[in-house]
Amino acid sequence: MEFAGSHILSVEQFGRADIERVFDVADSMAPYAHRRKITRVLEGAILGNMFFEPSTRTRVSFGCAFNLLGGEVRETTGIENSAIAKGESLYDTARVISGYSDVIAMRHPVAGSVKEFAAASRVPVVNGGDGANEHPTQALLDLYTIGKEVQHRGGSIDGLRIAMIGDLRFGRTVHSLSKLLANFDRVHLTCIAPAELRMPGEIVEHLRARGHTVVESDAMESSIGHVDIAYSTRIQEERFASREEANLYRGRYRLNQAIYTQYCEPNTVIMHPLPRDSRAEANELDPDLNENPNLAIFRQTDNGVLVRMALFALVLDVVHLVDRYEAPVSWYTGKRFGE
């Protein structure tokens, strides 16, 4: 694919070579993300960071990624704080904000809305999650993390055995990640969900049509015994008609250290797009896993900065210039707390 000047709206835009290109560029961003050097390659550029749904890590890591490349970030958060609350259309908002920005990252509760917004934008738009549809940058950072974790254990994405657990119907991260995995070879995907929250049939069919194995189950313990990755997800409460309806599923699948020890292989990597719902009635990933070295959730969030830096550098076509705008770091960057 041509990255320069393109919108990033769906993982369907990416072939295997494109994914590998993003990952190579992400690797090259490590010295800047880890504060060994700075770069000002995007000095003067402005990111319009528009988040019309709750977000912590996606919004902040988009902003950090842009800052780490030397750019500035302008934020709009919450429909209630924007002119959309006064009845403004996505078209008008896109025309306006794209006049103030060099690139836009956007999250919105309605599936397809980011694409509609992008059609009216004068600058590239990156999808930060559109309803239950897609979350391409999360899928790329998840797959980047998977690649690093399995490589570390002598494996590869080809032949990967992965279980996705929880709300596979409304979870946009598992939709995008599954479609991205379809570009690789011999993936074995186990979908663990209540019958009402199963992975959409077209995604299952898409994987099968490309020669992958997909198994569906509604039981967790018996299905996580032979996987490289156990990818847990939150019940997407905001997509249900009521909190009561979401409560029917909350807490159905809970992974903790005792269950992990009893059922998983010793090297199984535990992932989650976060936020994990840590309330007692949900607790899909128990805090007693925090010291488990195979818990990769905070490696995922760290990798999110690298992958988003890579996407900005590719879309704004500065990959070849990043080191030309380098400078040393002037502040204390020694050991950080907890390292």
Q: Where along the sequence are the contacts to ligand NCD (CB under 6 A)?
A: 57-58, 129, 135, 138, 172-173, 234, 273-275
User: Using alpha carbons only, what angle is made at residue 190 by residues 14 and 139, rounded to the nearest 5 degrees?
Assistant: 30
Which residue, among 199, 141, 144, has the nearest Cα to 175 in the 3D structure? 199
Half-sphere exposure (Cβ direction) of 148: Cα atoms closer than 13 Å? 20
- Least distance (Å) from ligand NCD to the CB of residue 301? 8
- Least distance (Å) from ligand NCD to the CB of residue 217? 21
Cβ proximity to ligand NCD, 133 vs 268, nearer residue: 133
Cβ proximity to ligand NCD, 159 vs 275, nearer residue: 275
- Least distance (Å) from ligand NCD to the CB of residue 250? 12
- Least distance (Å) from ligand NCD to the CB of residue 298? 12
Nearest-angstrom CA–CA distance, 214 and 46: 42
- Least distance (Å) from ligand NCD to the CB of residue 112? 15
Nearest-angstrom CA–CA distance, 213 and 176: 17
Nearest-angstrom CA–CA distance, 164 and 180: 14
- Least distance (Å) from ligand NCD to the CB of residue 152? 22
Edge-to-edge strand ranges of the sheet holding 72-77: 72-77, 46-51, 103-108, 125-130
Instruction: Give the CA distances from residue 320 to residues 81, 88, 313, 328, in Å, rounded to whole numbers and listed in that order.
Output: 38, 39, 9, 19
Cβ proximity to ligand NCD, 33 vs 297, nearer residue: 297
CB within 8 Å of 304: residues ≥ 6 apart: 57, 58, 61, 137, 138, 141
Cβ proximity to ligand NCD, 198 vs 308, nearer residue: 308
Q: DSSP characters for 242-302?
A: -HHHHHTTTTSS-B-HHHHHHHS-TTPEEE--S----STTT-SB-GGGTT-TTB-HHHHHH
- Least distance (Å) from ligand NCD to the CB of residue 306? 15
Burial environment of residue 237 by CB neighbours within 10 A (0 to 12, 13 to 18, 19 or more) = middle
Cβ proximity to ligand NCD, 124 vs 273, nearer residue: 273
Kind plus residue range of the DSSP H or E element containing 120: helix 113-120
- In the numeric block, the tokens 């934008």 are attached to 121
Cβ proximity to ligand NCD, 57 vs 254, nearer residue: 57
- Least distance (Å) from ligand NCD to the CB of residue 260? 21
Cβ proximity to ligand NCD, 33 vs 45, nearer residue: 33
Identify whether the C-beta of residue 273 lies closer than 8 Å to the C-beta of residue 128: no
Cβ proximity to ligand NCD, 5 vs 275, nearer residue: 275
